Amino acid sequence: MVVNVILRRLSPISSRSLFSSWASMEKLSLRLGVVQSIAREDKNENLKVAKEKIEELVRKNCDIIVLPECFNSPYGTDYFPKYAEEIPDGETSQFLKEMASENKIHLVGGSIPEREGQDLFNTSTVWNPDGELICRHRKIHLFDINIPGGIQFQESSTLKAGNKVTTFTAHDWKFGIGICYDLRFEELARLYRNKGCHVILYPGAFNWTTGPLHWELLLRGRAVDNQVYVAGVSGAYCPQASYQAWGHSTVVDPMGQVVTKAKHDEAVFCVDLDMSLVEKVRQQIPVFSQRRTDVYETVEKEL
C-alpha cells in the first residue's frame, strides 16, 4: 500500500518578513517515506524486505526514508544478543550504506541491536546520499514496564542506555531522533525544539496494550507542544511474534493534526512536508518566545 499525502496549508498571516529567514533555504518541502514492516527471525529476509520497500519509496521520489525500530531483528531481550552487530562495520550497516548511496537518499535505519565490546544498545543510524554515516542515536530511555494483565518487559536486562541527544540536517531541515520509549519523555523533544529541529522521528514498536492508549496521543502531544512535524515509524503487526507491534505508523503536523497513518499490516507511505508550515505555526502561536525561562527551563547536560 502506498499513500501520497499533500498537507493542507494554514491560511497565510500578514507579515512581510515572515519568511525572510527562510529565503535562503534550498528546499521548502521534503518528501518523507515511511516503512512499516515485520521483523522475522531470518535477518537476510528482513533486509530483503527493507530493500524492496525502500526501492518502492524511491520510485515515489522520497528525499528521506525511515525504517522502524529493530527492523532487522525480532523485538525481544532474547533476540538482541543474537542479532547485535557492530556499527558501522556490521552487515546491516553496510546494507544501509549501500541503499542510501545507490538511491541518493537520506536513510534513517530505524534501529538495530548494536554491539560495542560487551555492551548492547538499541541504536538508530542515519546515512546521507553519499552513503556516509552522519549520526547514530542510542535509545536513551529503556523500556522497563509492568502492566498487570497487559505487558511486562525489561529492556535493561540486556541493553545499556544511551546518553546523548541526536540531531542531523537533511535538505536544510533539522531533525531530532528518539526511539520508541523515548517518545514518552517530553524533555527530550523540548531539547530538540530548543536546538532548532523542524521534525522529530521516532522509530518505534508500541505494543497492543500501550499502542491503542498512547501511541497517537503521544505523537500528537510532542508535535503540538514543540511545533514540529513528528513521525512515529512502527513495525507491523505479526500474530506469530512473541512481541506484537501495534503498527499504525503516523505523521503529525506542527498543529498536532494527524496527516496520515497506516493500519496494522505491512505498508509504506510517503508524505510531503511543508517547511513553511512550521514557521507559520510558530508565528501564529509564539509559545517559545513567551516561555518563562526565568521560572523554568529544560537544559541538556554533558555526560
Q: Which residues are catalytic?
A: 69, 139, 180
The Cα–Cα gap between 155 and 142 comes to 6
Contact at 8 Å (CB) between 162 and 15?
Answer: no
| CA–CA distance, 286 with 303 (Å, rounded to integer) | 32
Q: Is-contact 110 124, C-beta < 8 A?
A: yes
Look up residue 85 and give its DSSP letter. Answer: B
Cross-strand pairs, 170:
173
The CA-to-CA distance between both ends of the chain, in Å, stands at: 43
- Whether the CA torsion 283, 21, 126, 29 is positive or negative: it is positive
Helix (H, G, I), strand (E, B) or coil at 121: strand
50 contacts: CB under 8 Å, gap ≥ 6: 35, 37, 67, 71, 72, 95, 99
| Helix or strand run (H / E) with residue 281 | helix 275-284
